[in-house]
Chain A
Amino acid sequence: MTRLGGIVVAVAAVAAVAAPFFLKPFGIFLISTWAVLTIAAIGLNLTLGYAGQISLAQGAFVGIGAYTVALLTLAGVPFFVAFIAAGLLCFAIGWVLGYPALRVQHHYLAFVTLAFSTLVFLVLRNEEWLTNGIYGIAGTLRPTLFGWPMGGARHFYFLCLGVLAALSLATWWILRSPWGRAFVALRENPIRALSLGLDTRRYTLMAFAIGSSLGGLSGALYAPLVQFIEPNSFTLGLSFNLLLMVIVGGSGHFFGPFVGALIAVLLPEWLRVTEGYYLIVYAAAVMVMMAVCPTGVLGLIERAARMLTGRRKAAGTQALTEGAGT
């Protein structure tokens, strides 16, 4: 990271800590939602942005995590145990969901994950004995941390922010390790990766499992944040929204999900002044953005920075396609 990048990140971190002291409760709820959804988007960015495995099931994992925590805490299990359980459960399910990715790729894989997403929704809606069906589950309590109750909006926001910071660091560690390089190799050229001794099978499953477990941990905070969960919160719409965050922010950029989630959470609120038209404006804004910068906001910033410094980097895909034609 450049020094300028470091300064921007530091300023953003300070802003994230200071923000709740200047916001009304609804504002704090929004930035809490941002922190929670960013965690899920970081997971999807790892699976899709780095390892190149498309998934339309991230919203389903948020749902699984949310229901796990809601049900376990209602049964008397301490929140932090339930939180870990949600992560582990989604890790295991994500690992299993990775198997189709060993056989199919791209839009076929998208369909497999889409089917899984629908399946999870149906289980949440129909298995009333477990999930209470369409009536949902109310009253997931916010936890107490070392004797500090996290019930207040501001306190709970700091819990979300703390978890976001810890999980970001963990993800950063994974991505800077040889695993991160292996994930990118998986995205760029799995056949070559295999011939260089990369167990592409294990890395693919790992990319799904880690990404899904981050989805689950996001859901584990979502349940106590909104304190009422129902199946309709975790439909395909949420998966698409998370996908949008990753792509708008900049797929394969570490800070992409942070920016993408911020836009996806705040833009609809700012557009409320347009009243009935806000969804139309929002949709149009997203389309323009995708047409102008398919590499997302961070891709656009990177391109601008490169033009300013006059350094030519990346953009090597053209050479590859030329080579493949010979």
Chain B
Amino acid sequence: MTAVLEVSNLRKTFGGIVAVDGVSFEVRAGEILGIIGPNGSGKSTLFNCVLGQLQPSAGEVRIDDKLTTGMRPCDLNRLGVSRTFQLLQVFPQLSVRDNLILAGQEHQGSMVSRLFGRADAGMSHAAGQMVDFFRLSHLADEPAGSLSFGQQKLLDAAMAFMAGPRLVLLDEPAGGVNLTMLGHLRERLHAYHAERSATFVVIEHQMEFVMALCTRVLVLAEGRLIAEGRPQDIRRDPTVIDAYLGH
């Protein structure tokens, strides 16, 4: 299988603090890779470096064999790389439908053609399908800010999928979501994965969620990769248990 994402020797420092310390890994097409690790182990920083939100201090990121280190998030997004955020990141005053249209509109035509084209950039139909898929149809015209936390999490995921990405990085999709909503979210992620044969990378604390969703797991601790393997093996790995429980 070919690598969709290849990270080599990635390093990120903030002043004297080394947040990510020479991390290398590959993500193969179609897999769901989990990244776990204690708080402060550098998971989100790693994501931000891969996605261009932060500039890595050293190392390389390749997507489909193309060097993308230092590319802007908006350009990466248009290459088919999408993400969700750990904290809520929807546009509260826009309706659910407009949030979704916005998530897809920049992939349609050019900036000039969008100005003179249709108000919905031709995305209404796709947005309608997406609210159905994530079972948010009854809320489509409500402002996103009026949704519950779990519903906003679903919307956040739906937005990440709106442009039909091939690679999606999900930053703690289960964080703060109640159990019913969590099962629903997992089912939707599985369904999307099966339908589009997309590739996922998931940062998560919720072990049950990781076990049920991921095919392979990486473990980060203090900015370094300390283990890699199948979820059931990782759970019993003494180095991993040690990293979580402290020294």
Contacts and interface: CB of A to CB of B under 8 A. Distances in A.
Interface residues of B, number: 48
Interface in A176-205: 176-179, 181-182, 184-185, 188-189, 191-200, 202
Query: Per DSSP, are chain B's interface residues mostly helix, strand or loop, or mixed?
Result: loop
Given A177-B117, A188-B92, A196-B103, A326 B176 contact: yes
Contact of B111 (A181, A199, A316, A319): A199
A288 interface: no
A275 interface: no
B149 interface: yes
B23 to A, nearest CB: 21
A312 B175 CA distance: 28
B94 A181 contact: yes
B243 to A, nearest CB: 24
Contacts of A194: 53, 72-74, 77
A323 B88 contact: yes
A218 B65 CA distance: 52
A185 B102 contact: yes
B3 to A, nearest CB: 22
Nearest to B121: A178
A314 interface: yes
Nearest to A320: B92
Query: Per DSSP, are chain A's interface residues mostly helix, strand or loop, or mixed?
Result: helix
A317 B152 CA distance: 12
Interface stretch (B140-148, B208-216, B222-230): B140-148
A324 B85 CA distance: 11
Contacts of A202: 111
Interface of B: 51, 53, 72-74, 77-78, 82-83, 85, 87-94, 98, 101-103, 105-108, 111, 114-117, 119-121, 142-149, 152, 159, 162-163, 175-176
Question: What are the 10 closest A-B residue pairs judged by CB atoms, nearest first?
Answer: A316-B145, A323-B88, A197-B77, A197-B106, A316-B92, A192-B89, A178-B114, A178-B105, A194-B73, A188-B91
10 contacts: A185-B94, A189-B91, A191-B89, A192-B85, A194-B73, A196-B106, A312-B146, A319-B92, A320-B145, A323-B152
